[in-house]
Amino acid sequence: MAELPGIERETLEMDVVIVGGGPGGLATAMHLARLIKQHNDSGKGEKLEGLSIALLEKGKEIGSHGISGAVMDPRALDELIPDWRKKDCPAVAVGTDEMWYLTESGKIKAPIMPPPLQNHGNYVVSLAELLRWMEPFVAEAPEMNIFPEFPAARVLIEAGKVVGVRTADKGIDKNGEAKGNFEPGIDIRAKIVILAEGPRGTLTKQLYEQFDLGKGKNPQVFALGVKEIWEVPAGRFKPGQVIHTMGFPLDKETFGGAFIYGMKDNLVDIGMVVGLDARNPTTDSHHELQRLKTHPAIRAILEGGKLVAAGAKAIPEGGYFSMPKMWGDGFMIVGDSASYLNGARLKGVHLAMKSGMLAAEAALEALVAGDYSDAKLGAYERKFEASWAKTELWKDRNFHQGFEHGLYAGMINAGLGMITGGRGFGVANRLEATAGHERMERIKRYFASDDPHPPEKIKFDGKLTFDKVTDVYYGGVVHEENQPAHLLIRDTEVCITKCTEEYGNPCLHFCPANVYEPRPTDDGRGKVPFLNFTNCFHCKTCDILDPYQVITWVPPEGGGGPNYKKL
Amino acid sequence: MNSIVCITQVPDTETRIKIGGDGRSIDETGVKFVVSPYDEYALEEAVKIREAKGAGDVTVVCFGPERAQSAIRDCLARGATKAIHVIGDSLRADSLGIAKVLAAVIRSQPHDLVFVGKQGVGTDNSLVGPMLAELLGIAHVTVVTKLEVGDGKVTAYRETEIAEEVIECSLPALVAAQKGLNNPRFASIKGIMAAKKIAIESKTLADLGLAEGDVYETRVKVVAMELPREKPAGRKIDGSDPVAAAKEIVRYLHEEVKAF
C-alpha cells in the first residue's frame, strides 16, 4: 500500500504491539495476557496494571489468511490451552499414516514410515479454522485489542531502536491520490513490537535489512505450498487419514512432495509443496498440483468429488541455520518470520505457537523490569535454546540443504541425519544453503536451447484440473480494485527486457494466482507479464523468487486478500 | 439535531451462501457478518450531519441476535454516539415485525432524522423504511443520493429510473440511503478503541411492550430457501486475432443468443 507523503498522523501509545494474527501472533498475545495476570496475582513485585496490547491482522478477520497443510503436533497447544481437547477444537486425530512414492502411473507404498513423518498422536487441522477457534481465548483478556483489516506498513525506528509500527493507509486510489474516505495509517508506539507476519514478512524484511539480522546465518530457503480442498463421495477418504507422496509429478532434482489429509464432512486436503529453489525457471507449483491429481492413485480419491477451496502460501524451509537474530532493541520475531518450521516433519504450527509463548515470557520479564533493550529481550533466544523447539529444529538442522543436490542425495542426507543426530550427510555440523533465486538457471542454459519454448505440461479440464484463476476464485480472493498495486516493482524495464531474455519471466510460472498474467508482446515474439494484483493469495513467492529481486510485496488495503475458511 | 440510524447485520457480501439443515434458513457456520452495505451510507450521512452541526446524537438501533453486537460496535467505531440493541431472532420477523420493533424503540428517543439503508442486503425487500415511517407518522424519502439539511426541513434528491426527484419535507423525517449518498469512512483504530467504551443499551421485545406474536412471522413466513441455479461457465473467445474474434462474437449473439 502506498503511503501518502506529508500526512499528519495520529499517535497511539500501547505497551505491546503484535503484527500478525496467525498461530505465532495469537499464541504470543494469549500467553502474554496470561503471564501478566499470573504476575499480578502472585503479589510479587510491582503490578502491571492498565496495560494495552494491540494485535494487527491484515486479513478481513482472524483466520481469513490462515493456510497450512496441516497435520499439527499438539505439543505447543497442550502448553497453551491444556484442556483444548474439551473445548470443541476443530481437530481430527490422525488415523492411518502412509507414504507413497509415485511413478508416472504407479505407486509404491513405503513399508515403514520415515520417523519424521510418523504422525501418530498428531491432528489434522485447518489452520484457518484453528485460528478462528483460538481468537476468543485471546480476545477475552482485558488488555487485548485485536484489529483485523489493519496491516502494519512499517516498523518505526528511532536512534537504532524499534519504537512502534505504522499501520497502512486506507482509501488511496490507483493513482496514489486520497479518496473521499481516506483514512491515514497511525503510528502505534509500543515498548515491545513482536513480529508474527508469517513467511517473508514485510516488516521483518525491513528489520533484516536495517539490523543485518541474517548475518552469519544461512539465507532463508522457501518452498511454495499450493493446496486445494475437495469434497469427495462419502466413505472415500477417512477423517484423519494421512498420505504423503514423493516422486511424480516432480523431477528428481526438484525439492517437494504432496500431502493428502482427511478432514470431517468428506473434505480432503490435497496439496503440493515445491521448493522455491529449483534450477528450472519455469517451475510452476500450481501446475504440478494439477498434474498430481491426474495420477491414477490420486484421481481415484478425487473422482466424482468437487473442488471447494484453494490457496497458496510460501513455507520457510531453511530450518535452524536460517533463523535470524530474532530480537533486538524493542522487538522480537516469532513463527515463520523467524524460521520456526521443521521442513523434515512438514510442520510449523506448533513451533510458531511455541515461539510466541517464549517471546511472551521474555516480554513479561521486560515489562516487569521496564527494560526493553537488546540485552533484556535476548532472554527470548536463551529461552528458545533451552526449549524443546530448539532440540527439535537442531535434529533436522541440515535437512533441506541436502536436497540442493537432488532428491536422492536429500533422502540419503535425511537418513544419515537421523542416525547422527542431524549431521549433514552424517558428518557436517552445518551445511550451507543457497538462496532460491540464486539457484535458478537461465532459461537457455536450463533447456540447452537458443530458442527455448518449454512445453505446456498440462491442459486443464475444468473437472479434475483447474487453471490458476479458478483456484483464485475458490480462495475467496478479493481486493479493492481502485488502489495502487501492492507489488512494488523497482524496475519494470528489467521485466520486459533482461528477465524475458535471460529467464523467460519466471513470475509467469511461479505465481500461483496469475497475478503475473502472460500477455502476448506487440511483436508476437512471446509473452510478458501483466500485473493483476487483485488476484494475489498473499503467498509472497514473487518477493522471494524473482531472480533480480526487484519485486517487493507490501500489504494491500486492509481486509484485502484471500478469505480462507477451511484451508 | 438528533439522528437515529437503523441497521441490520447481514452476511458479508462475498460469502458463498449455503442453505441450512432446516431448508429455510442459511447455514451460518463460518460466515462473517457485517453491517448491511446500504446502512453504511445511512450511518455516514448521520455522522456527517452531526459533525457539521457540532451537536446532537447519532443513535444506532439494531434488532437482531447477540452476534449483531459486532455490527453495532462497528457503527460506534465509525462515529455513532449511542446504541440500542433489541435482542431477538430477527430472521423470523417479517418486514412489518421489524418495523414495529424499531418504531417502539424510536418513539422513546429524540429523533429529527431517522436513517435506514434503502434495503437490507440478503432479503432485499425495501419495506422496513417506509413501514417504519408510517408507524412513526413521519414523512419518508427512499433511494436518496443527496441530502441537504435546512431549518426544520430537509431536501432529498431521489434517484428514479427516469429522472431525479427533488423532495422537500419537514422534520422529523425518514431517509432511506442509496449508494452514492456519500463515501462511508473506514473505522479507525482510535475509533474502535473509543467504541469499546460506549455501553450498548440492550432491550428485549418485552421491554418494548411487544409480544412474539406481534413480531415474528406476522404476515410472511419463509417456507423454503434454495440457491439460484448455477450459471453455465463463461465462454472464452481467443482474442489474438481481433477480426476473427469480433466475427465470432457477432455470430454468437446472432445465432445462439438470437439477440438480433
Q: Which residue of A has its CA nearest to B32?
A: A61
**pLDDT value for A244:** 96
A60/B189 Cβ within 8 A = no
Strand partners, A260: A243, A270
Domain boundaries, chain B: 3-215, 234-260
Closest-CA distance, A272 to chain B, in angstroms, reads 26
How far off is chain A from B94, nearest CA to CA, in Å?
Answer: 30
3-class SS string, A480-520:
CCCCCCCEEECCHHHHHHHHHHHHCCCHHHHCCCCCEEEEE
Fold exhibited by the domain A15-68+132-217+324-395: FAD/NAD(P)-binding domain (3.50.50)
Q: B193, A462: Cβ pair inside 8 Å?
A: no
Cβ–Cβ gap A12/B186 under 8 Å = no
User: Within chain A, how many helices (H) and strands (E) appear?
Assistant: 19, 26
CA A547 to chain centre: 20
B interface test, pick of A53, A57, A65, A145 with most B CB neighbours within 10 Å: A145
Rounded to the nearest 10°, the torsion over CA A53, A58, A61, A62 is -60
- Return the HEC string of B190-229: HHHHHHHCCCCEEECCHHHCCCHHHHECCCCCCCCCCCCC
Residue A396 has phi, psi (to 5 degrees) of -110, 25
Nearest by CB to residue B185, choosing from A150, A181, A462, is A181
Query: With an 8 Å Cβ cutoff, are A10 and B190 in contact?
Result: yes
Q: From the centroid of its chain, how far is CA A510? A: 15
Q: Where are the domains of chain A?
A: 15-68+132-217+324-395, 404-436
ipTM: 0.88
Q: Show residues of chain B in contact with A147, CB under 8 Å.
A: 189, 192
Residues of A in contact with B196 (CB under 8 A): 145
From chain B, pick out residues whose CB is under 8 angstroms from the CB of A17.
none
Measured between beta carbons, the chain A residues lying within 8 angstroms of B30 are 129, 132, 565-566
pLDDT for res A2: 56
How far A202 CA sits from the closest chain B CA (Å)?
21
Q: What would the DSSP string read from start to end of A329-347? A: TTEEE-GGGGT--BTTTTB
Q: What is the DSSP letter of A478?
A: B
pLDDT digits (tens, 9 = 90+) for B7-40: 999 999 888 889 999 999 999 988 999 999 999 9
What residues of chain A have any CB closer than 8 angstroms to a CB in chain B? Answer: 10, 12, 54, 60-61, 64, 129, 132, 145, 147, 150, 167, 170-171, 179-181, 183, 186, 188, 462, 476, 478, 520, 558, 563, 565-566
- Considering CB atoms only, which of A179, A188, A558 is closest to B183? A179
A181:B193 CB<8 A: no
Nearest to A183 among B30, B185, B193 (CB): B185
pLDDT category of residue B95 using cuts at 50, 70 and 90: very high
How many angstroms away from the CA of A205 is the closest CA of chain B? 25
Cβ within 8 Å, pair A565-B188 = no
Q: pLDDT at position B16, please?
A: 85
Query: Are B233 and A462 inside 8 Å of each other by CB?
Result: yes
Q: CA-to-CA distance for A178 and A184, rounded, in angstroms?
A: 9
Torsion over CA: A25, A30, A33, A34 (sign): negative
What average pLDDT does the segment B178-199 reach?
95
Residue B153's alpha-carbon distances to B147, B168, B172, in angstroms, are 11, 7, 8
Q: Among partner residues B183, B185, B193, which is closest to A145 by beta-carbon distance?
A: B193
Q: Could you say which of B32, B188, B196 has the minimum Cβ distance to residue A183?
A: B188
- CB atoms A10 and B32 under 8 Å: no
* Best of A51, A181, A189, A263 to mutate (most B CBs within 10 Å, chain B): A181
> Which residue ranges of chain A lie beneath pLDDT 70?
1-2, 525
The per-residue pLDDT for A5 is 81
Give the model's confidence band at B233: pLDDT under 50 very low, under 70 low, under 90 confident, else very high. Answer: confident
The distance of B83 to chain A (nearest Cα, Å) reads 21
A180 Cα to chain B: minimum distance (Å): 6
Candidates A9, A55, A146, A183, partner chain B, best to mutate (most B CBs within 10 A): A183
Contact between chains at A150 and B32 (C-beta distance less than 8 A): no
With contact defined as beta carbons under 8 Å apart, do B84 and B61 qualify?
yes
What percent of chain B shows pLDDT beyond 70?
100
Name the CATH topology of B3-215. Rossmann fold (3.40.50)
The pLDDT tens digits for B157-181 are: 998 889 999 999 999 999 999 999 9
Instruction: Identify the closest residue of chain A to B184 by CA–CA distance.
Output: A181
Query: What DSSP assignment string belongs to A384-445?
Result: HHTSHHHHHHHHTTTHHHHGGG-HHHHHHHHHHHHHHTS-BTTTBS------HHHHPPPHHH
